[in-house]
Amino acid sequence: MITLALAKGRTADDSIKLLEQAGIHFDHLNSKSRKLVFYDTAGMVKLIFVKALDVPTYVENGAADMGIVGKDNIMESQADIYEILDLKLGRCKFAVAGFNGTHPSNNNVLTVASKYPAVAEKHFHKKKIPINTIKLNGSVELAPLIGLADVIVDIVETGNTLRENGLTILEEMDSVSTRLIVNKASFTTKSESVHKMIHTLQTGLE
Ligand code: PRP
C-alpha cells in the first residue's frame, strides 16, 4: 500500500477530484471532513491530510511515500525529494509586492514579510539585496499597510487580495502549481506501486 500525503487547504478539492478522475475512490472523502486518514476502495492507497508545508517533510522522511502539494511549499521546505509530475492545479506565481513605487534596491536593509521566508531570502540573496525577514502565517498583505514590512513575498493568483489592499506586484518570481512528489527510498523499494500510481495520476490528467 502507498501512503499519499495530501495538502489541506486551497488545492485540496482539486486534488481529490484528480484522484477520483484517475479512478482512485475513497468513501466519504471531502476536504471539509475532520478525519485525517482515508483508505481507497481498492485497498491500494492510504491517504493522509496534512498541512501543506508539512507534505514535503512527511515525504522526505518516508512517513508518506508520495505527496500532492504546491511548488510554493516544496520550495520553502527545501526537502530532499523527487518532484515527478506537474499536476497543473492551483496555478499561481510568487511575487514581491508592495506599494507602487517601492524599489527594493533603494533601501539599505529591506524588511520583507512572508509565509515563505526561505523563498524570500533566496530570492533577495541572489540579487545581493540584504533583507530582514519577518515570518508571518497569513494575511501577509497587511504587513506593508501597517508598516511592519516594506514589501512582501507571497503567492498571487487572481491579484484580488493585493488590489483590494492597495498593493501591486513589484517583481514577478517563479510560477507555482501543484506537484506530485515521491520519497527517494520509496521510488526504488516500492518501485512498482509508485510507478503504477504515477501512471494512474497521469491518466487522470489527460
Ligand atoms: C493566499 C496568498 C494571498 C492570496 C492570493 O492566501 O497568501 O494572500 O491567497 O490570492 P489572490 O491573488 O487570488 O487574491 P490564502 O488565501 O491562502 O490565505 P492566508 O492569508 O490566510 O494565508
Q: What is the pLDDT of residue 67?
A: 98
Residue 58 CB-half CA count within 13 A: 23
Q: Which residue type sits at 27? A: D
Q: Which residue type sits at 132? A: N
Q: What is the pLDDT of residues 29-44, one digit of tens each?
A: 876 778 899 999 999 9
Give the right CATH number for 2-90+177-205 from 3.40.190.10, 3.90.940.20, 3.90.600.10, 3.30.310.160.
Answer: 3.40.190.10
Dihedral of the alpha carbons of 159, 160, 162, 163, in degrees to the nearest 10: 110
Q: Which residue type sits at 54? A: D
Res. 105 pLDDT band, cuts 50 70 90: low
- Cα separation, 125 vs 104, in Å, equals 12
How close is the Cα of 42 to the center of ligand 1, in Å?
A: 36
Could you give the maximum distance between any two Cα atoms of the chain, in Å? 59
pLDDT at position 107 over 80: no
Residue 1 DSSP label: -
User: Which residue among 161, 168, 176 has the greatest number of ligand 1 atoms within 8 angstroms of its CB, and so is best to mutate?
Assistant: 161
Q: What is the pLDDT of residues 131-154, one digit of tens each?
A: 999 999 999 999 999 999 999 999
pLDDT at position 63 over 70: yes
Q: What is the pLDDT of residue 32?
A: 75
- Cα separation, 14 vs 17, in Å, equals 5
Res. 11 pLDDT band, cuts 50 70 90: confident
Q: What is the pLDDT of residue 106?
A: 58
User: Which residue among 10, 13, 93, 156 has the greatest number of ligand 1 atoms within 8 angstroms of its CB, and so is best to mutate?
Assistant: 156
pLDDT at position 108 over 90: no
Place of cell 492510504: 46
CATH code: domain 92-175 is: 3.40.190.10
- Cα separation, 63 vs 60, in Å, equals 8
Domain ranges of the chain: 2-90+177-205, 92-175
Residue 112 DSSP label: E
Q: Which residue type sits at 177? A: S
Residue range 157-185: average pLDDT? 97
- Cα separation, 50 vs 149, in Å, equals 30
Percent of all residues in the chain with a pLDDT value above 70, rounded to a whole number: 98
